[in-house]
Amino acid sequence: MAISDEDSKAVPKEQKTEVNKTTSSKSTKRAVKTDTDSASEVAKGRGRRTRTNSNKDVKPATPVENQSGEAQKPETVAQSAAPDSAAAAADASAATGAATAPEKAATSAGSEDKGATVAAQNPANAAGSNGNGANGAGAGAGAGQGSGPKRGIYPIITLRSIIITPAANVQLIAARENTVLALKEALERKQDIVVISQTADSELRPAKEDLARVGVVANILNGSYNEKDQYRSTIRGFARVSIVRLIDDPSDQVRHAEVEFLKEQEVDPLVAARYIDALKAALHTALDIQKQGGRAIMDSNIPAEMISTICDSTTLGDLADGLSQILMLPNHDKKYILESLDPMARAKSLIAFLNNFSYKAEVDKKIAEDARAAMDRSQRDFYLNEQLKAIKRELNIQVDDSNDIEEYRQRIAALDAPEEVLNRLQKEVSRLSIMSLNSGENSMVRNYIDTLLSIPWRKSSQLNRDLSKARDILEQDHYGLKKVKDRILEFLAVQTRREQKDPHGQILCLMGPPGIGKTSLAASIAKATGRKYVRVALGGMYDESEIRGHRRTYIGAMPGRIIQSMIKSEVNNPLFLLDEIDKISTNSYHGDIASALLEVLDPEQNNTFNDNYVDLEYDLSHVFFIATANSYNIPPALRDRMEIIDLSSYTADEKFHIAREHLLPKQLEKNALTPEEFDISDDGLKELIVHYTLEAGVRNLERIIAELCRKVVKELMIKPPKDPSKVKKRVLGVKEIQKLIGPKRYDFTSKLKDNRIGVVNGLSVSSVGGDMLQVEVVANEGKGSHLLTGQLGSVMKESVFAAIAWVRSHARAFSMAPDFYQYVDLNVHFPEGAIPKDGPSAGCATVTAIISALTNNPVRADVAMTGEITLRGDVLAIGGLKEKLLAALRGGVKTVCIPQENEKDLWDIPKNVTTKLEIVPVKTIDEVLDIALVNKPKTFKPTTLEDWTLEGYLEREKKRKLRDEAEEHKFYMEIKDSSEGSIGEIKNHRDQDVVDTSIPSVPSVPNGVPPRPEDPNGGEGGHEPPAPTVSPQLAVE
Task: Give catalytic residue positions.
Answer: 841, 884
b/e burial code for range 893-909 (CB count within 10 A of at least 16 → b): bebbbbbbbbeebeeeb
Sign of the Cα pseudo-torsion (842, 844, 847, 851, in order): negative
Residues 6+ apart with CB under 8 A from 333: 324, 349, 353
**Which residues does residue 897 pair with via DSSP β-bridges, in sequence order?**
865, 920
Q: Burial, 534: exposed, middle or buried (Cβ in 10 Å; 0-12, 13-18, 19+)?
A: buried
Q: CB–CB of 74/180 below 8 Å?
A: yes
For the four alpha carbons of 797, 799, 803 and 809, in that order, the dihedral sign comes to positive
E strands, 248-328, are: 256-261
Task: Give 644's contacts (C-beta < 8 A, 6+ positions apart).
Answer: 508, 509, 511
Task: Report DSSP letters for 144-196, one per residue.
Answer: HHSSS-SEEEEEEEEEES----TT-EEEEEE-SHHHHHHHHHHHHTT--EEEE
Strands (E), 366-521: 507-511
d(CA 111, CA 206): 20
- Which amino acid type is present at position 925? I
For residues 467 and 573, what is the distance between their CA atoms, to the nearest angstrom? 19
Question: Is 135 in a helix, a strand, or coil?
Answer: coil
Task: State the DSSP code for 980.
Answer: S
Angstrom distances, CA of residue 385 to CA of 389, 402, 428, 567, 810: 6, 16, 20, 35, 99
The 8-class DSSP code of residue 130 comes to S
Report the C-alpha gap between 214 and 735 in whole angstroms: 95
Q: Which residues contact 1009 (CB under 8 A, 6 or more apart)?
A: 1019, 1023, 1025, 1026
The CA distances from residue 803 to 33, 806, 869, 875, 925, in Å, are 80, 5, 7, 11, 10
